[in-house]
Each structure stands twice: as C-alpha cells, then as structure tokens.
Amino acid sequence: MVCRMQCSSPGPRKGRARPTGRTGRPRSAEADAAILDATRAALVELGWGKLTMGDVAARAKVAKTTLYRRWASKNELVVDAVAVLFDELELPDRGCLKDDIEGVVLQFAALLARPETKTALMAVVAESTTDDALRNRIRSAVVDRQKRLVVQGRERAQRRGELPKDTGDPEGAASAARSVDMIFDVIAGAVVHRALVSGEPVDAAWAARFTTLLLGGLGSLERED
C-alpha cells in the first residue's frame, strides 16, 4: 500500500524491491527510505503547512517526478513517513495491568513529543475528514498498530486474573469489542489532547493519576454490564 502503480511485494533482494515477476528496472528501495527520512526531517524543520514536495525531493536527492511516481499527494506521503514511527510502540510486561498501562501511556507520549509526529499526525487526521482513501490509509497504518496494544494488554490482564475472562457467547464478544474501543479512545484521546491541545506534559505523575482513573472506571463499567 506504499507505492502508486507497482505492487509492493515482500522480500526484496539485494536492497532492491520486488524479487521477480516483472521485467524492467526495479524501483530503488534506497530512494524510498531516503524520501521517507527526508519527509520526517522536513516536518521537523518546516511543519506541515510549509512542507513542499520539491523540498522533500531535494533533501532526498531525488527528482521531484520520482516522488510523484510513488505517492499521489503530500497527505499519503506523510502518513507513510510517520506510520513507521508507530512500530516502536510495544507493551513490555511489567507485571500488573496498572504498570502496563502507565508504560504504554508514557511510551505514546514520548512518541507524540517528537516534532515530526505531533505536527504530522493532527494534520493528516484533519485531511482525512474530507478524504476517505486517506482515512483508510491512516486506519491501517497508524490506528490499528495502536489498538493492537490494547487487545494485547487486555488479554494479558485476563491471564493474570486482573480482568474477568471473555465469555464465549456473542453477547460477551460484543461487549468485549465495545470495551476495547472505549479504552482505546480514552487512552489515545486523553494523551493526545493533553499533549497537543492543552500543551502540558504527560509525565509519570500524570500517567499514574490517569491510570488510576481508567482502572477505577473500568471496574464501574464491569459491574454495570
């Protein structure tokens, strides 16, 4: 889902993309990497509004036409450039649910503190409100990467006995899906809002208070179902 005309296939050979199946000169994987690096660098220096395709091409030492051969618009380029940053997110096992949540909150906050992330993320979300293709790209490249952590943390807490296990029936499954969505929106939303809108630091003290609130709230939600 990266390039414009070619199909990207897994398993590049010798630093080049596309192992076989097509003839002709293959696309340079180095160029791809250089372009994405240049995009992130430009985001840091210029921000979203002043970033131009020509500038990115110059930084990547690549012709502007090469850029347009792979990405149709600035939006899609930036989504791909930022998406890889979300691969860093992990959920190390800290022993209990509370510590796991605090860890992921701080990790997410550290990611949002990076200038290239903060300036790009909101901008592409804004554009996605009037561009369905972009919305889907963001969902698969960014949102799903994050939501996976919630599912993972939930399962881990269930194994520890900190959360009740899922019932097999459809009713329970629907309830579980609603919970995951809710938790995801609350965590990601609160962290983003504090960091980018309120503009105040997401530090360990805040993370601890927030986690207390979330866990207490989950208990109430559980009791009501």
Partner DNA sequence: CTCTTTCGCTACGAGTCGTAGCGTAACTCT
Partner DNA sequence: AGAGTTACGCTACGACTCGTAGCGAAAGAG
Q: What residues make contact with its own copies under the rule CB under 8 A?
A: 46-49, 75, 115, 118-123, 125-127, 129-131, 135, 138-139, 143, 178, 181-182, 184-186, 188-194, 196-200, 206, 209-210, 212-221, 224
Torsion of CA 207, 210, 216, 222, to 10 degrees: -100
Is 45 a residue that touches DNA (CB under 7 A)? no
Q: With contacts defined by CB under 7 A, name the span among 70-78, 122-130, 160-168, 199-207 that binds DNA.
A: 70-78
168 binds, among DNA, its own copies, none (CB under 5 to 8 A by kind): none
169 binds, among its own copies, DNA, none (CB under 5 to 8 A by kind): none
3-state secondary structure of 129: coil
Question: Residue 30 and residue 15: Cα distance in Å, rounded?
Answer: 7
3-state secondary structure of 115: helix
- 102 token code pair: 């605090």
170 binds, among DNA, its own copies, none (CB under 5 to 8 A by kind): none
From candidates 36, 42, 62, 79, binder to DNA by CB under 7 A: 62
Q: Minimum Å distance from CB 182 to its own copies?
A: 6
Q: DSSP of 147-190, one letter per residue?
A: HHHHHHHHHHHHHHTSSPPPPSSHHHHHHHHHHHHHHHHHHHHH
Q: DSSP of 17-47, one letter per residue?
A: S--SS--SPPPBHHHHHHHHHHHHHHHHHHT
Question: 225: Cβ–Cβ under 8 A, 6 or more apart, which residues?
Answer: 175
Q: With contacts defined by CB under 7 A, name the span among 46-54, 92-100, 106-114, 207-215 that binds DNA.
A: 46-54
From candidates 16, 148, 193, 209, binder to DNA by CB under 7 A: 16
82 binds, among its own copies, DNA, none (CB under 5 to 8 A by kind): none
Interhelix angle 144-160/170-192, rounded to 10 degrees, is 120
216 binds, among its own copies, DNA, none (CB under 5 to 8 A by kind): its own copies
Instruction: Rank residues 55 and 99 by Cβ distance to DNA and give the closer one.
Output: 55
Is 82 a residue that touches DNA (CB under 7 A)? no
69 binds, among its own copies, DNA, none (CB under 5 to 8 A by kind): DNA
**Within the chain, how many helices (H) and strands (E) appear?**
10, 0
* Site residues, DNA (CB under 7 A): 5-6, 16, 20-28, 31, 52-55, 61-66, 68-70, 72-74
